[in-house]
């Protein structure tokens, strides 16, 4: 697998002298690491172990002033600039070769104002950091499903998870953002200040600047939610998914149910004889009243004869971290993804057949049902355009041994190709691997040309290019 940074005319780095590095070190509050410094190898590691790159310098920022210095330095010395938040991004854009890696992971502050129901969040915070602070006040901002994901990358690409159907996407709850532009200038973006930039960062990725603070609107959500898993044999999946398709179409906005196909992990609630065998999992969360939740999940619990049913009241913070053990750092990962307006019989059959031929014990296919509040936003209201009530499939291959690279990647690509005729043609940018630059325009659809124009205004030289890149018009 090729994991080099995307080449551009300015992608080569000039040689940096010790004096250059020393001068930068003297201008920042955070720390600066080169290959000779202790901690360099640990700092350049990211979640996807398939990506192994060596930046010339790593700047671990502690505030907006450090971000400004990093951007000005990268521009002055013609260095590729990689920006790291949580470091989960599947494409590995958080780290680069022979450039400057701007590491925001130490900027983790989350400040909640319960009276205004707002939170100010720094870009190094994880979803777990955000959830713990907001849930202390029985509040929530809709985010993703893995507590170690970074809030910055998730938000900039759109952001969806267990409460999206009820409260909208993460970007739909973004009130404002502070970001440093390619000029090294800190600007504020909201619906009334730099509104074009505010529109673009809601789904347009890291193409327009480095966000140093997000302001989110929060919603009431009790710390206990009705949630959990229903585990079925994979050989029942065809019939079950057709019933699932019908039930989610009728589900209230408060209820989210996703389907996962994988080999059963050795979890205590799954009978031992099923460990390592192919299963279908329905993962449910009801964002509302517990009694109403119990009623809403009942039709799903009545499907088939589950191997395990662990649906019940759980702390929301715990449910948000439930899948963390399956998504730990250190494994090699490759993803392929499609949006679907609906799940056709042919799509279901194709996916279930592939799930019976998983290339490894940690590989999986998950299908997220979204819509609800998310679908009631106009496609051109934010940079993220795919607002139809739909399903998002992520083909997630995950393995440990480099010798399995070709096998796992080929399986994912073949499944992606086989399901493409049944898909909508669009894709969620946060699920795109680095070899899908040809899909960026499809990801943004009707909004791409407006984004390219805003890119030309704010980053004409494409300094922020290590991402799912929108080229300046």
Residue 46 CB burial class (10 angstroms; 0-12, 13-18, ≥19): buried
- 400-436: b or e for each residue (b if 16 or more CB lie within 10 Å)? eeeeeeeebbebbbebbeebeebbbebbbbbbbbbbb
Query: Which pLDDT score, from 0 to 100, does residue 25 have?
Result: 97
* CA pair distance 34, 21, nearest whole angstrom: 9
pLDDT in tens, 143-172: 999 999 999 999 999 999 999 999 999 999
* CA pair distance 157, 147, nearest whole angstrom: 17
Neighbours of 312 (CB within 10 A): 13
Domain boundaries for CATH 3.40.462.20 within the chain:
224-433
223 is written with which tokens? 């710390």
* CA pair distance 437, 205, nearest whole angstrom: 14
* pLDDT higher than 60, residue 353: yes
* pLDDT higher than 50, residue 54: yes
* CA pair distance 320, 369, nearest whole angstrom: 17
* pLDDT higher than 90, residue 6: no
* CA pair distance 192, 176, nearest whole angstrom: 9
Strand pairing of 81-84 and 57-60? unpaired
Q: Return the DSSP state at 375.
A: G
> Which one, of 379, 391, 385, 393, lies nearest residue 440 by Cα?
385
**pLDDT confidence tier of residue 15, bands split at 50, 70 and 90:** confident
Chain centroid offset of residue 100 CA: 23
- DSSP-based three-state secondary structure for 268: coil
* CA pair distance 65, 293, nearest whole angstrom: 46
Residue 327, CB half-sphere, CA atoms under 13 Å: how many? 19
> Are the C-beta atoms of 34 and 56 separated by less than 8 Å?
yes
Strand pairing of 186-190 and 174-180? antiparallel
> Which one, of 344, 334, 297, lies nearest residue 414 by Cα?
334
Query: Which pLDDT score, from 0 to 100, does residue 10 have?
Result: 39
pLDDT in tens, 93-126: 999 999 999 999 999 999 999 999 999 999 999 9
Q: Which CATH code is given to the segment(s) 224-433?
A: 3.40.462.20
* CA pair distance 367, 340, nearest whole angstrom: 10
* pLDDT higher than 80, residue 76: yes
pLDDT in tens, 248-283: 999 999 999 999 999 999 999 999 999 999 999 999
Strand pairing of 308-309 and 224-233? antiparallel
**pLDDT confidence tier of residue 473, bands split at 50, 70 and 90:** very high
Domain boundaries for CATH 3.30.465.10 within the chain:
110-220+444-458
* pLDDT higher than 70, residue 439: yes
In sequence order, the β-bridge partners of residue 118 are 113, 217
- DSSP-based three-state secondary structure for 260: strand
Kindly give, in sequence order, each residue whose CB lies less than 8 Å from that of residue 470, ignoring residues fewer than 6 positions away.
204, 205, 207, 440, 444, 448, 451, 452, 455
10 is written with which tokens? 């300015």
CATH number for 18-103 (one of 3.40.50.300, 2.102.10.10, 3.30.43.10, 1.10.10.10): it is: 3.30.43.10
Model-level pTM? 0.95
* CA pair distance 92, 433, nearest whole angstrom: 8
Q: Considering the chain, what is the average pLDDT of its residues? A: 96
Residue 57, CB half-sphere, CA atoms under 13 Å: how many? 28
* pLDDT higher than 90, residue 305: yes
* CA pair distance 78, 245, nearest whole angstrom: 51
CATH class, domain 110-220+444-458, is alpha beta
> Are the C-beta atoms of 123 and 161 separated by less than 8 Å?
no
* CA pair distance 466, 312, nearest whole angstrom: 42
DSSP string computed for 333-349: EEEEEEEESS--HHHHH
């Amino acid at each position: 697998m090729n994991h080099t940074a995307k080449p551009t005319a300015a992608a080569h780095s000039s040689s940096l002298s010790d004096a250059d590095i020393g001068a930068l070190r003297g201008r920042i509050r955070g720390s600066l690491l080169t290959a000779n410094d202790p901690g360099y190898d640990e700092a350049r590691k990211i979640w996807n172990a398939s990506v192994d790159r060596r930046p010339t310098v790593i700047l671990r920022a502690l505030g907006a002033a450090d971000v400004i210095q990093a951007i000005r330095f990268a521009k002055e010395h013609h260095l590729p600039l990689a920006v790291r938040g949580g470091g989960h991004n599947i494409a590995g854009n958080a780290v680069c070769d022979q450039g400057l890696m701007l590491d925001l992971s130490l900027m983790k502050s989350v400040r909640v104002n319960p009276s205004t129901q707002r939170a100010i969040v720094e870009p190094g915070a994880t979803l777990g950091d955000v959830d713990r602070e907001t849930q202390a006040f029985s509040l929530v901002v809709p985010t993703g499903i893995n507590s170690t994901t970074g809030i910055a990358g998730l938000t900039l690409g759109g952001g969806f998870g267990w409460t999206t159907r009820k409260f909208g996407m993460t970007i739909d709850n973004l009130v404002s953002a502070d970001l440093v532009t390619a000029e090294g200038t800190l600007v504020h973006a909201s619906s009334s200040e730099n509104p074009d930039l505010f529109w673009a960062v809601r789904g347009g990725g890291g193409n327009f600047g480095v966000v140093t603070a997000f302001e989110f609107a929060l919603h009431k959500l009790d710390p206990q939610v009705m949630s959990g898993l229903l585990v079925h044999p994979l050989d029942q999946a065809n019939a079950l998914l057709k019933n699932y398709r019908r039930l989610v179409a009728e589900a209230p906005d408060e209820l989210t149910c996703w389907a996962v196909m994988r080999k059963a992990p050795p979890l205590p609630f799954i009978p031992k004889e099923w460990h390592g065998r192919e299963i279908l999992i329905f993962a449910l969360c009801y964002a509302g009243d517990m009694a109403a939740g119990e009623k809403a999940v009942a039709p799903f619990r009545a499907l088939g004869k589950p191997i395990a049913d662990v649906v019940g009241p759980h702390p929301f913070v715990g449910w948000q971290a439930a899948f963390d053990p399956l998504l730990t750092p250190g494994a090699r990962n490759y993803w392929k993804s499609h949006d679907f307006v609906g799940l056709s019989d042919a799509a279901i059959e194709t996916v279930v057949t592939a799930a019976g031929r998983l290339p490894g014990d940690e590989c999986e296919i998950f299908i997220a049902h979204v819509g609800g509040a998310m679908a009631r936003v106009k496609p051109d209201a934010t940079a993220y355009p795919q607002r139809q009530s739909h399903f998002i499939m992520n083909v997630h291959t995950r393995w440990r041994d480099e010798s399995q690279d070709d096998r796992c990647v080929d399986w994912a690509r073949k499944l992606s190709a086989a399901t493409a005729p049944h898909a909508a043609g669009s894709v969620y940018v946060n699920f795109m691997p680095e070899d899908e630059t040809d899909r960026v325009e499809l990801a943004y659809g009707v909004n791409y040309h407006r984004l390219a124009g805003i890119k030309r205004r704010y980053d004409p030289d494409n300094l922020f290019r290590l991402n799912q890149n929108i080229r300046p018009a």
